[in-house]
């Protein structure tokens, strides 16, 4: 502190004199006993142990660790809850198709067998459906040279062989029709605009 001037010295003396009226009387032991009775220290019962002063950064890390633990616990709790299953939208298909015993579906079919032709862009109109009862693919393909006509073929998935399906009764006017296999009735339906026709 800088050296005090006359006023400061006078002020100090006046303040000290003024403070003589302060209530300085006290009974220290009684006061300590009073506080100890009213507000007992929890640590006293533990003996001489005292908590170590923890730096603020340690408290921060502890808080972050607590938050992380709470998040993990929350995820575990949420993950252990029963999941509500949505009702099935698609009805069950029934038993899956299986090739008969002794068949070799992994063996390639005959190389030179007859098969649907590929007609440039017209293959865009070739459609297929799988007949689960018979284990064959049904193919509706544009007929060669006559785009409005179609050929129907089947492909046996157990022998990997192609066969004409309706060589004499092809569904004329169904070029570009979509094929749909009806699970319940076990038939394949050709759909062309407003016309429906079973093809098997």
Partner 1 sequence: MGGPTVASTVALAGAGDEAAFAQLVAAYHADMARVAFVACGDRGLAEDAVQSAWLVAWRKLHSLRDPDRVRPWLLSVTANEARQLLRRRHGPVVEIDVEAPGDARGDPSTSIERVDLRRALARLSPDDRALLAMRYVVDLTSGELATAVGTSPSTARARLSRAIDRLRKELRDG
**Residue whose CB is less far from partner 1, 62 or 124:** 62
Q: Are strands 178-182 and 187-192 parallel, antiparallel or unpaired?
A: antiparallel
Tokens of 171: 């569904």
Q: What are phi and psi of 134, to 5 degrees?
A: -90, -15
Angle (CA) 11 16 17, round 5°:
100
Candidates 5-13, 63-71, 137-145, 163-171 — which segment interacts with partner 1 by CB under 8 A? 5-13
Nearest approach in angstroms of CB 25 to partner 1 is 8
Closest CA to 196 of 178, 146, 184, 186: 178
Question: Which x/- pattern over 69-88 shows residues binding partner 1 (rule: CB under 8 A)?
Answer: --------------------
Strand order across the beta sheet in which 187-192 lies: 178-182, 187-192, 195-198
- Between the alpha carbon of residue 63 and those of residues 56, 68, 77, 173, 190, the distances in Å are 11, 9, 21, 76, 68
Residue 22 within binding range of partner 1, rule CB under 8 A: yes
Residue 99 within binding range of partner 1, rule CB under 8 A: no
Question: Which x/- pattern over 39-58 shows residues binding partner 1 (rule: CB under 8 A)?
Answer: xxx-xx---x-xx-x-----
Q: What residues pair up with 180 in beta bridges, in sequence order?
A: 189
- Cα 103 from chain centre: 40
**Residue whose CB is less far from partner 1, 35 or 144:** 35
Q: Within positions 116 to 135, which residues make up the interface with partner 1, using CB under 8 A?
A: none
**Residue whose CB is less far from partner 1, 16 or 85:** 16
- The residues binding partner 1 (CB under 8 A) are 1, 7-8, 10-24, 26, 28-29, 31-33, 35-36, 39-41, 43-44, 48, 50-51, 53
């Amino acid at each position: 502190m800088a050296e005090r001037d006359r006023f400061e010295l006078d002020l100090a003396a006046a303040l000290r004199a003024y403070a003589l009226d302060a209530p300085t009387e006290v009974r220290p032991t009684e006061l300590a006993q009073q506080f100890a009775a009213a507000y007992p220290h929890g640590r006293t019962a533990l003996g001489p142990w005292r908590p170590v002063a923890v730096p603020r950064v340690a408290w921060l890390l502890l808080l972050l660790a607590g938050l992380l633990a709470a998040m993990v616990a929350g995820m575990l709790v949420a993950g252990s809850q029963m999941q509500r299953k949505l009702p099935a939208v698609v009805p069950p298909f029934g038993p899956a198709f299986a090739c008969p015993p002794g068949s070799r579906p992994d063996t390639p079919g005959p190389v030179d067998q007859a098969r649907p032709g590929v007609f440039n862009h017209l293959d865009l109109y070739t459609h297929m459906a799988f007949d689960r009862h018979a284990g064959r693919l049904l193919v509706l393909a544009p007929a060669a040279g006559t785009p409005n006509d179609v050929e129907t073929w089947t492909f046996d998935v157990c022998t990997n062989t192609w066969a004409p399906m309706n060589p004499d009764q092809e569904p004329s006017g169904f070029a570009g029709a979509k094929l749909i296999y009806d699970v319940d009735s076990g038939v394949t339906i050709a759909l062309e605009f407003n016309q429906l026709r079973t093809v098997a």
